[in-house]
Amino acid sequence: MDMSSDMAPGRATAGTVKELSYAEAAALALQREMEADSRVVVLGEDVGRGGIFGQYKGLQQRFGAERVIDTPISEAAIMGAGVGMALAGLRPVVEMRVVDFALCGMDELVNQAAKNRFMFGGQGRVPLVARMPGGIWDASAAQHSQSLEAWFAHLPGVVVVCPSSPQDNHSLLRSALRCGDPVVYIEHKNLWALRGAVDESLEVPLGKAARLHRGDALTMVSWSRQLQACKAACDALAAEGIAVDLIDLRTLWPWDRDTVLDSCARTRRLLVVHEAVQAAGFGAEIAATAAEATGCRIARLGAPRIPVGYAPVLEAQSRVGTERIAEAARALCR
């Protein structure tokens, strides 16, 4: 996909670093882009009161109800209106509340937003950001805890982003808003309270991974909230003398093949870990690409192909925990 972006004027002031939550970092990113570009608008359920996770807090009071627009409860109408706004020259942020609800607006995304630029020879562009919080939401059961990022990575015409930290949620959201194509932006439902330093001036391009640990024994690739368990596993493995090259993919499409494959060629081992169901998950794409390009040893970890349970003991069966990750890494290194 062409990642060119007709960038709006106005960048953050250099050197501004704040301690923010994942939700606050996103709200600040939106505020800055809305200040810089009057074409940026927000629409969705409950955005006027700040959103269910606080990711729009204060924005309607600052920019008014004409730019932060509360909508009826109809995902198809919200997504369809967003596509129309984008084709008319605006840069809408379409709030789906959670990815599970976005399924009601799939036709507008899949058959309209994703294909318009191709079908009409570039005469139309859909610079839309669809925010679809994904992943397991504690004690929220099967219809509120799905990880569907592989669905969208399979869809030609869209960019797919999965930020794992407050800094990335700030920087990647700003990059997504400047992208000329539709972006499926999947924040994790359980990361909103996560706090960290956020540098407003730090730009993170779409399609570029981050290396969080450096090592030669094993390459480990993950994204979103699963990085927390991966980092804990890497710390435990380091104490055993196993140095892991931990890569946060950040953008699933386009994904950073060069960083991953360079690491795999060096370590000769790859472990891909994700919260989503392992069967047909995006980890399979990474594993197949690495196998074809480097011939390295490969293992995958993901959830079993079951709905996420409501009871804690059942919900735990869908989680990929630290010890399981560490044991899979040890097995690859034997």
DSSP 245-304: EEEE--EEES--HHHHHHHHHHHSEEEEEEEEESTT-HHHHHHHHHHHHH--EEEEEEE-
| Average confidence (pLDDT) over 173-199 | 97
> Exactly one of 144, 188, 213, 274 is catalytic; which is it?
144
Q: Known catalytic residue: 154?
A: no
* E strand or H helix at 20: strand 17-21
DSSP 66-111: TTEEE--S-HHHHHHHHHHHHHTT-EEEEE-SSHHHHGGGHHIIII
Categorize the per-residue pLDDT at 11 as very low, low, confident or very high, splitting at 50, 70 and 90. very low
Residue 93 has pLDDT above 80, yes or no: yes
Categorize the per-residue pLDDT at 191 as very low, low, confident or very high, splitting at 50, 70 and 90. very high
The residues near 136 (Cβ < 8 Å, ≥ 6 apart) are 145, 147, 189, 190, 275, 308, 315, 318, 319
Task: Please write the tens of the pLDDT for every residue from 215-245.
Answer: 999 999 999 999 999 999 999 999 999 999 9
Give the model's pLDDT for residue 3.
45
Give the model's pLDDT for residue 1.
44
| Average confidence (pLDDT) over 44-49 | 96
Categorize the per-residue pLDDT at 9 as very low, low, confident or very high, splitting at 50, 70 and 90. very low
Token representation of residue 132: 């679809």
Residue 10 has pLDDT above 80, yes or no: no
Residue 8 has pLDDT above 70, yes or no: no
**% pLDDT > 90, the chain:** 95
Give the model's pLDDT for residue 37.
97
Give the model's pLDDT for residue 14.
52
- How far apart, in whole angstroms, are the C-alpha atoms of residue 303 and residue 308? 9
DSSP 163-206: --SHHHHHHHHHHHHH-SS-EEE--BTT-TT-EEEEETT----T
What amino acid occupies position 328? A
Tell me which residue of 94, 86, 92 sits closest to 116, measured CA to CA: 86
Spell out the domains of the chain, with CATH numbers in brackets. 19-199 (3.40.50.970), 210-333 (3.40.50.920)
DSSP 42-74: EEETTTTTT-TTSTTTTHHHHH-TTTEEE--S-
53: left (phi over 0), alpha (psi -120 to 50) or beta: alpha
| Average confidence (pLDDT) over 13-34 | 91
- How far apart, in whole angstroms, are the C-alpha atoms of residue 189 and residue 329? 27
**% pLDDT > 70, the chain:** 96
The residues near 186 (Cβ < 8 Å, ≥ 6 apart) are 99, 132, 133, 134, 135, 148, 149, 152, 160, 161, 162, 224
Mean confidence (pLDDT) of the chain: 94
Buried b (16+ CB within 10 A) or exposed e, 222-237: bbbbbbbbbbebbebb
Token representation of residue 251: 């953008």
Categorize the per-residue pLDDT at 319 as very low, low, confident or very high, splitting at 50, 70 and 90. very high
- How far apart, in whole angstroms, are the C-alpha atoms of residue 47 and residue 58? 10
Categorize the per-residue pLDDT at 139 as very low, low, confident or very high, splitting at 50, 70 and 90. confident
- Which of 7 and 227 is assigned the larger pLDDT? 227
The residues near 215 (Cβ < 8 Å, ≥ 6 apart) are 234, 238, 242, 243, 244, 245, 246, 267
Categorize the per-residue pLDDT at 6 as very low, low, confident or very high, splitting at 50, 70 and 90. very low
**Angle at which helices 226-239 and 322-333 pack, to 10 degrees?**
50
Give the model's pLDDT for residue 333.
95
Task: Please write the tens of the pLDDT for every residue from 261-309.
Answer: 999 999 999 999 999 999 999 999 999 999 999 999 999 999 999 999 9
3 state DSSP class of 135: coil
Categorize the per-residue pLDDT at 13 as very low, low, confident or very high, splitting at 50, 70 and 90. very low
- How far apart, in whole angstroms, are the C-alpha atoms of residue 247 and residue 258? 12
